[in-house]
């Protein structure tokens, strides 16, 4: 999908686009993270004890899929770790623990994100990457009293 009014940064980087605002229409919290090596950024299979490339200790990072509405369209967007943390308010590891302890928390997290208005810098998929979604490079919530999703979950599921 081409993005109208895209700007291209130097060095052949993918085009970026900053709509006036985006509204989260839906969030897929069923498969929101994966294991990655913090040293070499390699994606690792679930259950990996170490990185196959460099031997680093894997950590869980975000790959959160959203549908967002702009002023003129609804687009599928993926948020990786840094961008997703601004909405979620915690590490992917912590969210996995919350979801494991409370089976309905994943659905509650998706509901908490629905309707949230944000300013997003979006990057078009790189050429030759069929099926890749538009990527949110940065996300800034626009609501004055924005609460990260983890705070909503902690209020709904207090530790007992």
Q: How many angstroms separate the CA atoms of 124 and 82, rounded? A: 18
**Residue 139: inside a domain:** yes
How distant, in Å, are the alpha carbons of 78, 145, 149, 157 from that of 135? Answer: 5, 26, 20, 31
Identify the residue whose tokens are 């599921």. 157
Give the chain's domain count: 1
**Residue 45: inside a domain:** no
Q: How many angstroms separate the CA atoms of 87 and 112, rounded? A: 10
> What's residue 121's pLDDT?
92
Q: Is 17 strand, coil or helix? A: strand
- The rounded average pLDDT for each run of 10 residues, N- to C-terminus, in the chain (160 residues) is 43 69 94 92 88 89 95 92 95 95 96 95 76 87 94 87
**Can you give the CATH number for the domain in which 113 is found?**
2.40.50.140
> Where in the sequence is the domain holding 104, given as residue range(s)?
12-32+63-156
Question: Using alpha carbons only, what angle is made at residue 124 by residues 38 and 143, rounded to the nearest 5 degrees?
Answer: 80
For 37, the token pair is 């090596």
**Residue 57: inside a domain:** no
**Residue 114: inside a domain:** yes
**Residue 145: inside a domain:** yes
**Residue 58: inside a domain:** no
């Amino acid at each position: 999908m081409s993005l109208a009014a895209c700007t291209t940064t130097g060095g052949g980087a993918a085009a970026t686009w900053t709509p006036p605002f985006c509204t989260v229409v839906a969030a897929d919290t069923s498969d929101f993270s994966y294991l990655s090596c913090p040293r070499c950024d390699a994606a690792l299979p679930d259950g990996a004890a170490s990185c196959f490339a460099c031997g680093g200790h894997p950590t869980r990072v975000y790959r959160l899929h959203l549908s967002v509405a702009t002023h003129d369209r609804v687009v599928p967007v993926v948020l990786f770790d840094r961008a997703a943390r601004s909405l979620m308010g915690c590490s992917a590891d912590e969210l996995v623990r919350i979801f494991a302890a409370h089976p309905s928390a994943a659905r509650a997290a998706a509901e908490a994100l629905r309707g949230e208005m944000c300013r997003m810098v979006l990057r078009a998929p790189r050429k030759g990457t069929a099926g890749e979604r538009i990527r949110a490079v940065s996300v800034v919530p626009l609501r004055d009293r924005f609460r990260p999703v983890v705070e909503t979950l902690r209020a709904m599921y207090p530790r007992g």
